[in-house]
Amino acid sequence: MVRKLVLSLIAILGAGALFVGAQNRQVSGTVSGPDGAPVVGATVMVDGTLIGTTSGANGSFSLSAPADGSLTVSFIGYESKTVAIAGKTHIDIALAEDTQAIDDVIVVAFGTARKEAFTGSAKMIQSDDLIKTQSSNVQDALVGKVSGVQFASESGRPGSGQKIYVRGYGSMSAQNTPLWVVDGVPYEGDVNNINAADIESISVLKDAASNALYGARGANGVIMVTTKRAKVGDAVVSFDGKWGLNTRALRTYDIADNAGEYYEMHYKALYNYYTLDQGYDPAAANIAANQLLTSNIAGGLGYNVMTVPEGQNLIGTNGRLNPLATEGRLVDYNGQQYLLKPDNWLDEIYKTSFRQEYNVSVSGATDRSNFYASLGYLDNTGIIDGSSNERYTARLRADYQAKKWLKIGGNMSYTHFVWNNGNKTNDDGESQGEGNADGGNAFATAVRMAPIYPVYMRDGNGNIMIDKYGMKLYDTGDGRNGGALRSNGGVSNDLQNIQLNRYINEGNAMMAGGFLDFNLYKGLKLTLNGNVALDETRGTEVQNPFYGQFASSGGAVFKSHARDIAYNLQQLLSYSETFADKHNVDLLVGHEMYNRKQYSLYGSKTVMFSPDNFELSGATVDSSRSGSSVLEYNNEGYFFRAQYNYDEKYFVSGSYRRDASSRFHPDHRWGNFWSAGAAWLISKEGFMDGTKGWLNMLKLKVSYGSQGNDNLGTKAETYFRYADYYSIESDGNGGVTSVLQQKGNPDITWETNSNLNVGIEFGFWNDRLRGGIDFFNRKTSDMLFQLATPVEAGYTSIWTNIGDMVNRGVEIELGADLIRTKNLVWDFSVNMTHYKNKLVKLPDQYKNNTTADGRHVGRQTSSRFYTEGESIFSFYLPTYAGVEEKTGKSMWYTYRTSEKTGELERVTTTDYSTASAEGRELQGDALPDLYGGFNTSLRFYGVDLSIGFTYQIGGQVLDQGYQAYMASPGGTSTGFNYHRDLLKSWSEDNKGSNIPRFAYGDPNQNGTSSRFLTDASFLNIQNITLGYTLPQRITRKFLVEKLRVYLACDNVWYWSQRQGLDPRQSIGGISNPYYYAPIRTFSGGLSVTF
């Protein structure tokens, strides 16, 4: 506004002054953008004069100018344009969008860098891409967008987010999570509390030159979030609303899906047991298997939900279901009628749910001040009962150039959140809840349950029965339902548990920050930043008083409160100057400190007054488990950075940072980190003049440096790995004692990551084709290593700094504007990464074991073998050798010493425990050969369409879901669903099968082996967005600048090597179907700008 006034004033004055000059005439016209929409506030200047004006409400302008002069029109975000007046009195000027203006700046540590001057490797993602994703978690929006970055999501639970690995695993024992920095401040809160709609951009910094100033904690990459500021111009009010549906995106394995089919399969297992194991003839086996099939005797299923004519068997001698069998069976039990009828457990647990989100923001700026405010509301219901997320967000960001030498600013955000998790999560790693095959995890129950078991109890008429509390009666498999006894899942029904139990986290997260910028002297600036982040979370777990584990205790309430407060102070002194027009110097010294305190308070009670009263005071018996604690973390660093370029052609940069962390002993807490980088803009060289027609940019860059990692974990003990750590206990006699929990090592210090990055960047045909290639070598040395100690020491590990590991690879990013015309724009971008992980050095204590083939020394840890020269993601499993043709049993390879030669020879065995103990071999790597994403977008008049894909080629995944479905039943462990591949298993008339015999009581036929390693390749449609922007000539009538309606779908579909397998769960190659399934969201929305 001020700028407009000033310019208008200048224009009027100028016009007045020049009026005397007589040759001037009045020129008027309009300024419009590439889409024909008027551009408001554009500056129109008469060349060579001070005469100028700004375009008005409908893009129109009028000024006095010489008839032979020319006008230059400029506006932020558009390319400036000069037009000759040539005697005309009316001139319409169309501005082209300046695509480079936004793309050319990268947010880096403590400031920004121009892309061409940048010597490191980073990727910037703009808000347009971020808001496409309909997730509360902005991490989801990054998936597939950045080369060199891998994402994994175990659970689809709203809010569970992504695990992010920048250039592979940096550490074996310490954390691998990147550092999040929000508006320049380290952020350790929940990423879900940041509203994606408030984000202007996200930079992912990958190499040393980019990360070094976060040296201390930047070893695993830095993700920099920059929230929105207003753009100069008229105030903008925008509203965005979207409404959508969530559905289950996980595909189901090819499993038995009806009772008849399942009975046939289980019958086959029993029949094979009787014929193969017990020597029955087929007729006798048919009778015996039919008798056992639905009985309560070990091997039986306990439920018969089929009706067959009196005296007939359920399964005929041909192994097929009696054609007269019908689903559902009426039974009389204890004087009451029950209808036993199977339910589809997956259909019962997963449902379609509703999602809505609204965001409003107001922003405006003048040349001295900038103001942005927003409000957001999200209501996202999960795809299982009891799972939902409600979030309110607010943000206010403003700055003001108070004096020529002083600029002040503030940035505040507030989030209120309520998370209902539905099922027990497994965040604390207590091997209960999500991800576990049992232990009260409804997902596992639904995935594994045979399709013969009812979820509900039904009366004789088939109606679901109601209990004395007015709730649906669930079948708990304990005999109440017509006397039937389920042979799996305990006497409980986890689907009922998710209805009745509660897992709630609710709270408030606030961030408040301010800065002061002092312009001290030409180019010399002092910045003081201060920031506080406060996160208060109240946790409630309710175990219902009606059914299950806590029913006998009258229900239980567990309460916790966590207060997490962090503050960050920064003092930055920077100097930037150009000498002799060619020497550009940029210097920065700074100091930063970060302190975080986590307070917690908890207690629990049993015997609840009412199932709806979730408070401790509403329960009566104290569980004697209350407590409180404080956990503190300190980090402090001093740093220096110098950047220099000559004529914007040759660039060098260097930085140094010295950091201390309270996670280490005072004697070992300081670490030194540094980086150096250089770039050469070849395309600016004189000798490249000849290529200007097609090559507009070519840059070579190299950087090297080191960063640290002190992140040993999030649990309290991980903050004291340097000290002997004891738990304080009662001695049982009124006194206090302490018991060792962890042996400390005072010598541990920073883990160091050395990063080499060599890359080229290029742009052809005015950037119609652009991209870059980076080679990286990321070496972790002095790895923070949880070194297993001799068990006899009395503790199992100490932390050390031993071991080196390398992640080496290449990243390619390409972008192309396939079509770029006024009304049709089509672009395409792709990124791909290939890298390998290698253990370079292991501690000597890890060389006491030798692989079964005698080739490698190292250490086995469950299904891996750590050995120098191999990937940490190599599987170490028995190698499946197919089926023994005669017996139908699984075979594996094992090693034994040959009696003839005295050397190890590889032989087959049908004994899994032998193969497991003596025959394991290094299988392939879980890491893919290539992974990445590709995106395309199309704009045609007002219609826009974009599609984002992610993909992975190669790598191996242990398909645990398939393994579970392929298991033979044994003991009383029956009633789990079967994969249809079992129909192709070995039998007398199918001896060539590669699938072992399917017989009850065969232990370990399906032991974990290479048989269940599957190609981990996948292709995934991450997002599709289709939008339509109404022509402004229509919307203007309603005072609307822009109105866009759109449809979007997230997590659309994926293809993997086996239906049901989801290799996206972990980069280590383990798939686990017992998690909350990923969610597909389909929604429509509306965004309006005033």
Partner 1 sequence: MKMNQIIKFTAVLLGSAVVFAGCIEETFPESGYATGGQIAESPFAQDGVLSAMPTILITNYVDIEEHFDFGYPGMLGAMDRLAGEVFPVSGNLPGGNQYYDRWQAYLYPCNLDGLDANGYVAPFFYKNYYQFVYAANEAITLFSQNEDSAQNLGVAKAFRAFFYLDMARLYDPLPAKAAVGSYDVSAVAGLTVPIAREGMTMEELENNPRATREEMFTFIFEDLDAAEKLMADYTPATRNLPSLAVVYGLKARAYLWLGGFDEQYAAIPTGEAAYRKAAEYARKAIVASGAPITSEAQWLDKTTGFNTVISSWMWAMIQSTDTVLNNLLSWTAHMSPDAIWGYGNGAQPGISVFSYNRIAATDFRKKIFVGPDRNYAAISPYTNLTAAEFEGEDAMAPIAPFTSFKFHTNGGEKRNYSLGNVTSIPLMRVEEMYLIEAEATAHYDAAAARPLLQSFMATRAAGYSIPAGNDLVEEIIFQKRIEFWGEGIILHDLKRLNMSMQNGKSGTNAPSMAQISTDGRAPWWNCVIPLSAVQQNKALSGKNNPNATYTYKSVK
Q: Contacts with partner 1 in 964-983 (CB under 8 A)?
A: 970-972
Using CB under 8 A as the binding rule, the residues of this chain from 1014 to 1043 that contact partner 1 are: none
Q: How far is CA 406 from CA 365, 402, 523, in A?
A: 17, 6, 13
- Residue 296 touching partner 1 (CB under 8 A): yes
* Cα atoms found within 13 Å of the Cα of residue 647, Cβ hemisphere only: 8
Helix (H) / strand (E) containing 213 = none
- Binding partner 1 by CB under 8 A: which of 469, 694, 726, 1053? 726
Instruction: Provide the minimum distance between the beta carbon of 431 and partner 1 in the complex, in angstroms, as a whole number.
Output: 4
**CA–CA dist 861, 676 (Å, integer):** 38
> Whose Cβ is closer to partner 1: residue 722's or residue 835's?
722
CB 954 within 8 A of CB 1031: no
Where in 347-376 is the site for partner 1 (CB under 8 A)? none
Report the SS3 class of residue 499: helix
**Residue 35 in tokens:** 């889409």
Beta-strand relationship, 60-66 and 70-74: unpaired
Give the C-alpha separation, 58 to 899, whole Å: 95
Binding mask 529-568 for partner 1 (x = CB under 8 A): ------------------x-xxxxxx-x------------
> Which range binds partner 1 by CB under 8 A, 95-103, 129-137, 169-177, 482-490?
482-490
Q: Which of 239, 575, 602, 633 binds partner 1 (CB under 8 A)?
A: 633
Please report how close the Cβ of residue 407 comes to partner 1 at its closest, in angstroms.
13
**The binder of partner 1 chosen from 318, 624, 821, 901 (CB under 8 A):** 624
Least distance between partner 1 and beta carbon 442 (Å): 18
Which of 139, 527 has the CB closer to partner 1? 527
Out of 304, 363, 1004, 1066, which residue is the one contacting partner 1 (CB under 8 A)? 1004
Q: Please report whether residue 622 would count as binding partner 1 according to CB under 8 A.
A: yes
Q: What residues from 823 to 852 belong to the interface with partner 1 (CB under 8 A)?
A: 845-846, 848-849
Residues between 23 and 52 with contacts to partner 1, criterion CB under 8 A: none
Closer residue to partner 1 (CB): 89 or 737: 737
Taking the least distance from each CB to partner 1, the nearer of 96 and 491 is: 491
- For residues 737 and 443, give the distance between their C-alpha atoms in angstroms, rounded to a whole number: 41
Question: How many residues are present in the chain?
Answer: 1090
Among 206, 458, 480, 834, binds partner 1 (CB under 8 A): 480
Of 34-42, 478-486, 827-835, 943-951: span binding partner 1 (CB under 8 A): 478-486
Residue type at 1? M
* Residue keyed to tokens 């250490």: 859
Residue ranges in 916-975 that form contacts with partner 1 under rule CB under 8 A: 916-917, 970-972
Are the CB atoms for 846 and 858 separated by under 8 Å? yes
Nearer CB in complex with partner 1: 660/967 = 660
Evaluate whether 774 touches 703 at the Cβ level (below 8 Å): no
631 near partner 1, judged by CB under 8 A: yes
Interface stretch with partner 1, choices 107-115, 257-265, 348-356, 790-798 (CB under 8 A): 790-798
Backbone φ, ψ for residue 538 (5° rounding): -110, 125
Query: Which pair of structure tokens corresponds to residue 874?
Result: 């190599």
Give the residue, chosen from 320, 625, 855, 984, that forms a contact with partner 1 under the rule CB under 8 A: 625
CB of 633 to partner 1, least distance (A): 7
Which CB, 84 or 406, lies closer to partner 1? 406
Q: Does position 105 bind partner 1 by CB under 8 A?
A: no
Question: Interface mask (CB under 8 A) for partner 1, residues 147-176, using x and -?
Answer: ------------------------------
- Nearest-angstrom CA–CA distance, 61 and 79: 18
Residue among 767 and 918 whose Cβ is closer to partner 1 = 918
Q: Tell me the residue ranges of DSSP E strands in 857-927.
A: 857-861, 864-867, 874-878, 880-883, 890-897, 904-909, 920-925
CB of 43 to partner 1, least distance (A): 32
Q: How far is the CB of 325 from partner 1 (least distance, A)?
A: 25
Q: CA separation (Å) from 819 to 401, 693, 828? A: 42, 19, 10
- 281 contributes a contact to partner 1 by CB under 8 A: no
606 sits near partner 1 (criterion: CB under 8 A): yes
Which residues in the 667-686 window bind partner 1 by CB under 8 A?
669
Beta carbon nearer to partner 1, 297 or 819: 297
Show contacts with partner 1 in window 402-461 (CB under 8 A): 405, 430-431
Min CB(692)–partner 1 separation in Å:
44
- Provide the terminal-to-terminal Cα distance of the chain, rounded to the nearest Å: 17
Q: Which two tokens stand for residue 341?
A: 């009828």
Contact between residue 533 and residue 412 where contact means Cβ atoms under 8 Å apart: no
Based on the shown chain and the rule CB under 8 A, indicate whether residue 733 belongs to the binding site for partner 1.
yes
Spatial CB neighbours of 1005, under 8 Å, sequence gap ≥ 6: 889, 890, 912, 967, 968, 996, 997, 999
Candidate list 629, 714, 994, 1059; residue touching partner 1; CB under 8 A = 629
Give the list of residues 6+ apart from residue 327 with CB closer than 8 angstroms, or none. 258, 259, 260, 305, 306, 307, 341, 342
Query: Of the two residues 22 and 728, which places its CB atom closer to partner 1 in the complex?
Result: 728
For the purposes of burial, counting CB atoms within 10 Å of the CB of 280, is it exposed (0-12), middle (13-18) or buried (19 or more)?
middle
DSSP-derived 3-state class of residue 342: coil
SS3 of 518-567: EEEECCEEEEEEEEEEEEEEEEEEEECCCCCCCCCCCCEEEEEEEEEEEE
State how far Cα 1068 lies from the chain centre: 15
Is 882 near partner 1 (CB under 8 A)? no
Closest CA to 550 of 498, 503, 608, 601: 608
Task: Note whether 908 binds partner 1 by CB under 8 A.
Answer: no
Q: Are 4 and 41 in contact (CB under 8 A)?
A: yes
Max alpha carbon distance in the chain (Å)? 120
Strands (E), 842-889: 849-850, 857-861, 864-867, 874-878, 880-883
- State the Rg of the chain over Cα: 34
The residue range among 341-349, 720-728, 958-966, 1078-1086 that interacts with partner 1, by the rule CB under 8 A, is 720-728
Contact 152, 1064 (CB under 8 A): yes
Which contiguous run of DSSP H or E holds residue 735?
none
Pick the binder of partner 1 from 786, 860, 937, 990 (CB under 8 A). 860
- Of 311 and 794, the one with the shorter C-beta distance to partner 1 is 794
What does each C-alpha distance from 191 to 159, 203, 493 come to in angstroms? 9, 15, 34
Stretch that binds partner 1, among 412-420, 701-709, 771-779, 909-917 (CB under 8 A): 909-917
Query: Binding residues for partner 1, how many (CB under 8 A)?
Result: 100
729 touching partner 1, by CB under 8 A: yes
> Which residue's CB is nearer to partner 1, number 51 or number 533?
533
Question: 723 in helix, strand or coil?
Answer: coil
- 334 in contact with partner 1 (CB under 8 A): no
Report how far residue 681's alpha carbon sits from residue 492's, in angstroms, rounded to the nearest whole number: 68
Helical packing angle, 282-293 and 259-272, nearest 10°? 130
Shortest spacing between CB 730 and partner 1, in angstroms: 4
Q: Which of 2, 13, 17, 793 binds partner 1 (CB under 8 A)?
A: 793
If we measure between CA atoms, which residue out of 531, 509, 528 comes closest to residue 183? Answer: 531
Range 735-754, binding partner 1 (CB under 8 A): 735-741, 744
Query: Which residues in the 680-719 window bind partner 1 by CB under 8 A?
Result: 716-717, 719
CB nearer to partner 1: pick between 75 and 912: 912
Return the range that interacts with partner 1 (CB under 8 A); candidates 139-147, 257-265, 361-369, 621-629: 621-629
Residues in 485-504 that interact with partner 1 by CB under 8 A: 485, 490-491
| Closer Cβ to partner 1, 69 or 603, answer by number | 603
